[in-house]
Amino acid sequence: MNLNKIKIFYDNNNHKSLLIYKFLKKKLKKNIFYYKNLNIVIGGDGYMLSIIKKNKNSKNIFYGINSGNYGFLMNKFSREKILINIKKSKKISISPLQMLVKKKDGKLKKAIAINEVSILRQSKQAATISVKKNSKFVIKKLVGDGLLVSTPAGSTAYNLSVHGPILDLNSKKVAISPISPFRPRRWRGKVVSDKSIIKIKNLDMKKRPISITADNYQIRNIKEATVFTLNKIKINLLYDFNSSLQKKIKLEQARKETS
C-alpha cells in the first residue's frame, strides 16, 4: 500500500504484523509524513530479506518493524514513538553477495544473498568440497556438512551459530566458515576481502550431492559455484537512532565473548 509516498509491506501470515500495519496506516493518515522511496516492512528477518530482494532498486530505503522473534535486521515497534523513530532513524548501506551456480546437469543459475550463501550436503554422506579465493586454494578438500560464505550483516546469523567470526559492518570482509568439519577437523575457516572471488567445487557429485542456498533460495545438485560481493549494489536500511545495526553487531560480539 502507498501512503504519502510510503510503501508498506506486512507479513499476512503473522497476526501481529497485521495489527501493526492497521495501527500504522491510521497514524500515517493523520500525520503529514514524507520520506522519499521509503519502504516500511513489518515482519521478521526472513520476510524483510524477501521484500528487499523483490525491491532492490538502489534508490529504495527500508525500515523494518519486528513482529517476529529475534528480528536482527528489524527495529523494535513502539506505538508511542513509531513516527519519531522513523524520522530520526539513521541510514546504513550494505552490499549483497552474488552467487553464480553450475548444476550437475549443466544448467546455470544465479541469486543474491544479503546474509549468507550456504553449501550443504543433501544426503547422508558428508560433502567433499574445495574452496578457492581467486586462483589460490583456501582449502583443497573439506569434508563435512558444508560451508558458509557470510556478509558482515549476516555474520551474526547462521554464521555465528556455526562458530564463525562476527565481522564489523565496515570491515569490507567476507567470512568463509565450515559447517561441522570432519576433515580437517580443526579448520576454522577464513576471513577474506570483499573484493575476493570465491570458487566452490563439489569433488564427488555422484556419491556426495550438495545444495547451495542464497539466504532462503535453494538450488540442488550443484557442480560448482562462484560467490562474490556485489559492491556496485547498495541496499539502504534504516535503524532507530539508539539501536543501529553496528550496535547490534557489537552486542553480539560481547555476548559471544562472555558465553
Q: What is the pLDDT of residue 107?
A: 95
Q: Choosing from 45, 145, 215, 240, which is the catalytic residue?
A: 45
Specify the domain boundaries for CATH 2.60.200.30 within the chain: 97-229
Q: What is the pLDDT of residue 1?
A: 43
CA–CA separation, 232 and 170 (whole Å): 16
Sign of CA dihedral 217, 70, 162, 92: positive
| Main-chain dihedrals φ then ψ at residue 220, nearest 5 degrees | -100, 165
CA–CA separation, 115 and 161 (whole Å): 13
Complete DSSP assignment for 140-208: EEEEEEEEEEE-TTTTTTHHHHTTPPPPPTTS-EEEEEEEEEEETTT---EEEETT-EEEEEES-TTTS
Closest CA to 129 of 211, 220, 217: 211
Cα–Cα distances in angstroms (integers) from residue 42 to residues 39, 122, 249, in the given order: 10, 33, 21
CA–CA separation, 245 and 3 (whole Å): 27
Give me 141's grid cell: 578438500
Closest CA to 188 of 166, 169, 165: 165
CATH annotation of 2-95+234-258: 3.40.50.10330
Q: What is the pLDDT of residue 2?
A: 44
Q: Model pTM greater than 0.95?
A: no
Residue 184: cis peptide before it, omega within 30 degrees of 0: yes
Q: What is the pLDDT of residue 245?
A: 75
Quick check: helix, strand or coil at residue 94? Answer: strand
List of the chain residues with pLDDT < 70: 1-4, 31-35, 256-259
Residues 97-229, CATH architecture: Sandwich (2.60)
Specify the domain boundaries for CATH 3.40.50.10330 within the chain: 2-95+234-258
Give me 112's grid cell: 543474491
240 is catalytic: no
Q: What is the pLDDT of residue 174?
A: 97
